[in-house]
Amino acid sequence: MKIQNILYIYLLMLPLASCTHVSNSGGDAVIERKIENLLSDMTLEEKLGQMNQISSYGNIEDMIGLIKKGEVGSILNEVDAVRVNALQRVAVEESRLGIPLLMARDVIHGFKTIFPIPLGQAATFDPEVAKDGARIAAIEASSVGVRWTFAPMIDISRDPRWGRIAESCGEDVYLSSVMGSAMVKGFQGDSLNSPTSIAACAKHFVGYGAAEGGRDYNSTFISERSLRNVYFPPFEAAAKAGVATFMTSFNDNDGVPSTGNKFILKDVLRGEWGFDGLVVTDWNSAREMIAHGFAADDKDAATLAVNAGVDMEMVSYAFFKNLPEQIKSGKVKEEVIDEAVKNILRVKFRLGLFDNPYVDEKRPSVMYDESHLAAAKRAAEESVILLKNEREVLPLKETVRTVAVVGPMADAPYEQLGTWVFDGEKSHTQTPLAAIRSIYGDKVQVVYEPGLTYSRDKNVAGIAKAVSVTAHADVVIAFVGEEAILSGEAHSLADLNLQGAQSELIAALAKTGKPLVTVVMAGRQLTIGKEAEESDAVLYSFHPGTMGGPAIADLLFGKAVPSGKTPVTFLKAVGQIPLYYAHNNSGRPASLNYKPLEEIPVEAGQTSEGSSSSYMDAGVQPLYPFGYGLSYTTFKYGKPKISSRELSSKDVLTVVFDLENTGRYEGTEVVQLYVQDKVASVTRPVKELKRFTRVTLKSGEKKTVTFELPVSELAFWNIDMMKIVEPGDFALWVAPDSQSGEEIGFRVID
Ligand code: BGC
């Protein structure tokens, strides 16, 4: 070979060499330069390859071919470290530009160690729990090479028929913002660049939780003002917390599918919030715009999605196959593609993938580490809500000798893990029955008879057996609820009563006259009014995960004291939906004292019932309000003092009050601060949560609690679609839940 030829080949290889060894160290400016350099070397196919996410094909060879050609930017659902490395090696060493792959997985509430479902985590009102749970999930998932999770889901969820309420932080804007941001911080760690950090994904942008009728994937009709006041804030908070990625939602809002919605993706997310990470579609959601009737075909769908601001497409290949033609015909500008690729590469650089593309296959396993299990137990413990405790049945007294454990959820290791568990194994689950036996078996005799084999079981034959084992018991603990499959994606329900013959089981147990403790484990708030009435005590546990058993056992026996609060309003009847505490008032606010239906006389006059906005049969009162939860101890709230009755929008409102533990147990209270804007240019919610904190007090102890609330946080999107604090009268409440507390007035003067 002539010298010139050798030189020529060497020169040809230069860009390749410089790209395969791109380093991600350095700040953003350095990263931006590297992105520009890399981009300038990319062919259109390679760019579109980066925008293409595939779901793992079982056969690795099929993927290798695509990766070599630079046709894949990200792979979803690969969780084997050896395979992850093998695929990554092909991307880094055998594709022309050596751009590493981004490995993704739905790690929603734990990887192997499963924490309570997000709705349960929200019930803790403890951002540390959410952050720790996400951190541990990241440590476990990243140990097999997963560097991107599709969590947190921060869709405001006000309809328990919607199965995905389980994955949410519930109905409240502020709680979802705080818990969602904590999860982002946990997943992403101190720096995305660390090998144990995984990119989080704020999903589903936006409005998905408002699906009409609670039917998954259904259309939503949310006004711009409601988007801005209610549905956007958790996402804006996640963006502020540094979330690396966003996912578009399946729903169309007011006729525009999110995956083709320029307003939300460009104007708001990029324009107003300055987000510079990656936006991915939901599974196939670009092509689903065809079924919506928004796109004519794949070409159109791909065009609409990228032009709206989507960067990466999940699984449907519409971008890769169709965009070359659309670019040629001018329907999509190459600059749009360049922007998308930059956003993708930026996340890959931030994750340190160019420097450390591989996972350490030899590292000792971190799965189910003792510290992970301890954190999962703490989370489960804090997530359980005591809804009722008559005659102080709980905690179980020393005099209790025999405990009858019944119900289909007492020993259901798979079911208590909840929805969205792909990697956690039921063999590691500790159920309540197992925990009661192993931790308290030396103190009490445990007799067990499930009565029903699973939550939908309608076979009443076993109920008599369950009743018979209660004969010698001092107390009956009934574990009922929902199997994991009854909530989650595409698992909406129209009836929220206990499934199968569970209600009959509770009724039969109640009839025995034995003290009855009902423990509900479910993916949503169920309509359990009748069963709560029949029970002496009720503990509600949104599917509590791997360590649910020991957590519940310790709560039952008083080693731990309940502190969870409802992150959603509990309903008396499904027909009350939508029922959430932060509603606006009608011109005829519902009267709380309505006449029972049966008391209305026959042929009553048309206007006899007070003409207020209510239901004649169920009223508008919830079964349990948002923010509600009892303790074994009692707390006394002192009269709050506020810093001033007249404030300017630049001030910080300080609220100070004493909280005293007046009961016999050490306990933790979630104290809550609510406000109301009394009169505004548009009607405002009757109450909005603005602050909360957990306060732990020994029996008899008293502490002064201080809340600080910048008046600027009273801003909302007003009649002119401006976010401002409108001067005028406000009210605040310091309270143990959304329905109590004494109203205190203050005024914002400018
Ligand atoms: C869900 C997403 C999820 C994705 C990938 C979709 O069906 O809506 O939340 O992240 O699948 O598994």
- Whichever domain contains 426, its CATH number is 3.40.50.1700
- The answer to whether the CB of 707 is under 6 A from ligand 1 is no
Q: What is the pLDDT of residues 10-20, one digit of tens each?
A: 333 333 333 33
CATH number at residue 105: 3.20.20.300
- The answer to whether the CB of 282 is under 6 A from ligand 1 is yes
Residue 176 CA to ligand 1 centre (angstroms): 19
CA dist., res. 352 & res. 360, Å (int): 15
Q: How high is the pLDDT of residue 1?
A: 35
> Would you place residue 611 in the very low, low, confident or very high pLDDT band (cuts 50, 70, 90)?
confident
Residue 146 CA to ligand 1 centre (angstroms): 16
- For β-strands 313-314 and 52-55, DSSP reports them as parallel
Of the candidates 507, 531, 557, which is a domain's last residue? Answer: 557
- For β-strands 702-710 and 516-522, DSSP reports them as unpaired
Residue 80 CA to ligand 1 centre (angstroms): 20
CB atoms within 10 A of CB 86: 15
CA dist., res. 269 & res. 279, Å (int): 10
CA dist., res. 441 & res. 402, Å (int): 10
Q: How high is the pLDDT of residue 612?
A: 86
> Looking at ligand 1, which atom is closest to the CA of residue 250?
8
What is the average pLDDT value for the chain, to the nearest integer? 95
Cα distances (angstroms) measured from residue 275 to each of 198, 241, 247: 18, 11, 13
Cα–Cα nearest to 139, from 367, 310, 337:
367
> Looking at ligand 1, which atom is closest to the CA of residue 150?
10
Q: How high is the pLDDT of residue 3?
A: 37
Residue 283 CA to ligand 1 centre (angstroms): 6
CA dist., res. 190 & res. 187, Å (int): 9
In this structure, what DSSP letter does residue 326 have? H
Instruction: Establish whether 282 is a catalytic residue.
Output: yes
Pocket test for ligand 1, best of 164, 205, 279, 283 (most atoms within 8 A of CB): 283
Residue 643 CA to ligand 1 centre (angstroms): 47
Check whether residue 210 and residue 341 sit in a common domain: yes
Pocket test for ligand 1, best of 489, 491, 492 (most atoms within 8 A of CB): 489
Contact 717, 225 (CB under 8 A): yes
Q: How high is the pLDDT of residue 591?
A: 77
- The answer to whether the CB of 203 is under 6 A from ligand 1 is yes
- The answer to whether the CB of 504 is under 6 A from ligand 1 is no
Task: Determine the 3-state secondary structure of 249 from DSSP.
Answer: coil
- The answer to whether the CB of 420 is under 6 A from ligand 1 is no
Check whether residue 412 and residue 505 sit in a common domain: yes
Cα–Cα nearest to 449, from 416, 429, 471:
471
CA dist., res. 559 & res. 555, Å (int): 6
- The answer to whether the CB of 288 is under 6 A from ligand 1 is no
Residue 204 CA to ligand 1 centre (angstroms): 9
Dihedral sign, Cα of residue 208, residue 210, residue 211, residue 216: positive
In this predicted structure, the answer to whether residue 707 has a pLDDT above a threshold of 70 is: yes
Residue of the CA atom closest to atom 12 of ligand 1: 106
Domain membership of residue 221 (yes or no) is yes
Of the candidates 494, 523, 557, which is a domain's last residue? Answer: 557
Cα distances (angstroms) measured from residue 682 to each of 165, 582, 714, 722, 730: 28, 15, 14, 12, 14
- The answer to whether the CB of 106 is under 6 A from ligand 1 is yes
Cα distances (angstroms) measured from residue 128 to each of 121, 195, 325, 719: 10, 22, 49, 37
What the block records as the tokens of 189 is: 């760690």
Check whether residue 334 and residue 391 sit in a common domain: no
With residue 389 as reference, give the H or E element that holds it: strand 385-389
Q: How high is the pLDDT of residue 27?
A: 62
Check whether residue 407 and residue 323 sit in a common domain: no
Residue 436 CA to ligand 1 centre (angstroms): 36
Residue 406 CA to ligand 1 centre (angstroms): 35
Q: How high is the pLDDT of residue 607?
A: 65
Q: How high is the pLDDT of residue 600?
A: 86
Range of 302's domain? Answer: 45-351
Contact 301, 287 (CB under 8 A): yes
CB atoms within 10 A of CB 9: 10
Contact 238, 184 (CB under 8 A): yes
Check whether residue 280 and residue 398 sit in a common domain: no
**Share in percent of the chain as helix, strand, coil (round to 5):** 35, 20, 45
> Would you place residue 608 in the very low, low, confident or very high pLDDT band (cuts 50, 70, 90)?
low
Residue 404 CA to ligand 1 centre (angstroms): 41
Residue of the CA atom closest to atom 6 of ligand 1: 283
- For β-strands 744-748 and 728-735, DSSP reports them as antiparallel
∠ CA 62-66-68, rounded to 5°: 115
Residue 148 CA to ligand 1 centre (angstroms): 13
CA dist., res. 370 & res. 266, Å (int): 45
Pocket test for ligand 1, best of 55, 78, 150 (most atoms within 8 A of CB): 150
> Looking at ligand 1, which atom is closest to the CA of residue 167?
9
> Looking at ligand 1, which atom is closest to the CA of residue 77?
12
Residue 631 CA to ligand 1 centre (angstroms): 37
Q: How many residues are given for the chain? A: 750
Q: How high is the pLDDT of residue 605?
A: 81
With residue 695 as reference, give the H or E element that holds it: strand 688-697
CATH number at residue 735: 2.60.40.10
Q: What is the pLDDT of residues 204-236, one digit of tens each?
A: 999 999 999 999 999 999 999 999 999 999 999
CA dist., res. 525 & res. 623, Å (int): 10
Q: How high is the pLDDT of residue 598?
A: 86
Residue of the CA atom closest to atom 5 of ligand 1: 283
With residue 370 as reference, give the H or E element that holds it: helix 370-383
List residues bridging with 245 in a β-sheet.
Answer: 201, 278
Residue 232 CA to ligand 1 centre (angstroms): 20
Displacement of CA 722 from its chain's centroid (Å):
29
3-class DSSP string for 239-303 = HHCCCCEEEECCCEECCEEHHHCHHHHHHHHHHHCCCCCEEECCCCCCCHHHHHCCCCCHHHHHH
DSSP E strands, 194-257: 201-205, 245-248, 252-253, 256-257
Q: Radius of gyration (Cα) for the chain, nearest Å? A: 28
Check whether residue 204 and residue 340 sit in a common domain: yes
Check whether residue 663 and residue 515 sit in a common domain: no
Pocket test for ligand 1, best of 282, 420, 487, 491 (most atoms within 8 A of CB): 282
Domain membership of residue 185 (yes or no) is yes
Domain membership of residue 4 (yes or no) is no
What the block records as the tokens of 694 is: 């957990």
Contact 467, 460 (CB under 8 A): no
- The answer to whether the CB of 283 is under 6 A from ligand 1 is yes
Q: How high is the pLDDT of residue 454?
A: 98
In this predicted structure, the answer to whether residue 610 has a pLDDT above a threshold of 80 is: no
In this predicted structure, the answer to whether residue 505 has a pLDDT above a threshold of 80 is: yes
Residues 39-68 have a mean pLDDT of 96
> Would you place residue 58 in the very low, low, confident or very high pLDDT band (cuts 50, 70, 90)?
confident
In this structure, what DSSP letter does residue 94 have? I
What the block records as the tokens of 243 is: 């979330």
Check whether residue 286 and residue 422 sit in a common domain: no
Domain membership of residue 625 (yes or no) is no
State what percent of residues in the chain have pLDDT above 70. Answer: 96
- The answer to whether the CB of 150 is under 6 A from ligand 1 is yes
Spatial CB neighbours of 120, under 8 Å, sequence gap ≥ 6: 379, 380, 383, 418, 541, 542, 543, 544, 545, 564
Residues 394-399 have a mean pLDDT of 97
- For β-strands 52-55 and 74-76, DSSP reports them as parallel
With residue 36 as reference, give the H or E element that holds it: helix 28-41
Residue 151 CA to ligand 1 centre (angstroms): 10
Q: What is the pLDDT of residues 73-127, one digit of tens each?
A: 999 999 999 999 999 999 999 999 999 999 999 999 999 999 999 999 999 999 9
Residue given tokens 């009728």 in the structure block: 213
Q: How high is the pLDDT of residue 11?
A: 35
Task: Determine the 3-state secondary structure of 435 from DSSP.
Answer: helix
Dihedral sign, Cα of residue 691, residue 692, residue 698, residue 700: positive
Check whether residue 343 and residue 422 sit in a common domain: no
Q: How high is the pLDDT of residue 599?
A: 86
CA neighbours closer than 13 Å in the CB half-sphere of residue 337: 28
Residue of the CA atom closest to atom 2 of ligand 1: 282
Displacement of CA 192 from its chain's centroid (Å):
21
Q: Give the count of domains, the chain.
A: 3
> Would you place residue 609 in the very low, low, confident or very high pLDDT band (cuts 50, 70, 90)?
low
Contact 168, 216 (CB under 8 A): no
Spatial CB neighbours of 689, under 8 Å, sequence gap ≥ 6: 172, 173, 174, 175, 582, 626, 627, 672, 673, 674, 738
Residue of the CA atom closest to atom 4 of ligand 1: 283
> Looking at ligand 1, which atom is closest to the CA of residue 151?
10
Residues 58-75 have a mean pLDDT of 96
In this predicted structure, the answer to whether residue 59 has a pLDDT above a threshold of 60 is: yes
- The answer to whether the CB of 716 is under 6 A from ligand 1 is no
Pick the range with the lowest mean pLDDT from 27-36, 547-556, 626-635.
27-36
Cα–Cα nearest to 401, from 441, 439, 435, 434:
441
Residue of the CA atom closest to atom 8 of ligand 1: 282
- The answer to whether the CB of 167 is under 6 A from ligand 1 is no
CB atoms within 10 A of CB 682: 15
Check whether residue 220 and residue 101 sit in a common domain: yes
Check whether residue 395 and residue 340 sit in a common domain: no
Type of residue at 153 = M
Residue of the CA atom closest to atom 7 of ligand 1: 283
> Looking at ligand 1, which atom is closest to the CA of residue 153?
9
Spatial CB neighbours of 533, under 8 Å, sequence gap ≥ 6: none
Q: How high is the pLDDT of residue 26?
A: 45
Domain membership of residue 492 (yes or no) is yes
CB atoms within 10 A of CB 598: 6
Domain membership of residue 366 (yes or no) is no
State what percent of residues in the chain have pLDDT above 90. Answer: 92
List residues bridging with 729 in a β-sheet.
Answer: 747
Cα–Cα nearest to 151, from 181, 210, 106, 208:
106
Contact 263, 221 (CB under 8 A): no
- The answer to whether the CB of 208 is under 6 A from ligand 1 is no
Check whether residue 339 and residue 444 sit in a common domain: no
> Looking at ligand 1, which atom is closest to the CA of residue 249?
8
List residues bridging with 253 in a β-sheet.
Answer: 220, 256
Task: Determine the 3-state secondary structure of 7 from DSSP.
Answer: helix
Q: How high is the pLDDT of residue 743?
A: 98
Domain membership of residue 568 (yes or no) is no
Alpha-helical (H) ranges within 481-588 are 502-511, 529-534, 548-557
Contact 301, 335 (CB under 8 A): no
∠ CA 206-203-168, rounded to 5°: 95
In this predicted structure, the answer to whether residue 427 has a pLDDT above a threshold of 90 is: yes
Whole-prediction pTM:
0.96
- The answer to whether the CB of 489 is under 6 A from ligand 1 is yes
Residue 119 CA to ligand 1 centre (angstroms): 17
> Would you place residue 678 in the very low, low, confident or very high pLDDT band (cuts 50, 70, 90)?
very high
Residue of the CA atom closest to atom 11 of ligand 1: 283
Catalytic residue, chosen from 282, 411, 423, 554, is 282
Of the candidates 557, 578, 604, which is a domain's last residue? Answer: 557
Domain membership of residue 576 (yes or no) is no
Residue given tokens 């993938």 in the structure block: 353
Type of residue at 730 = F
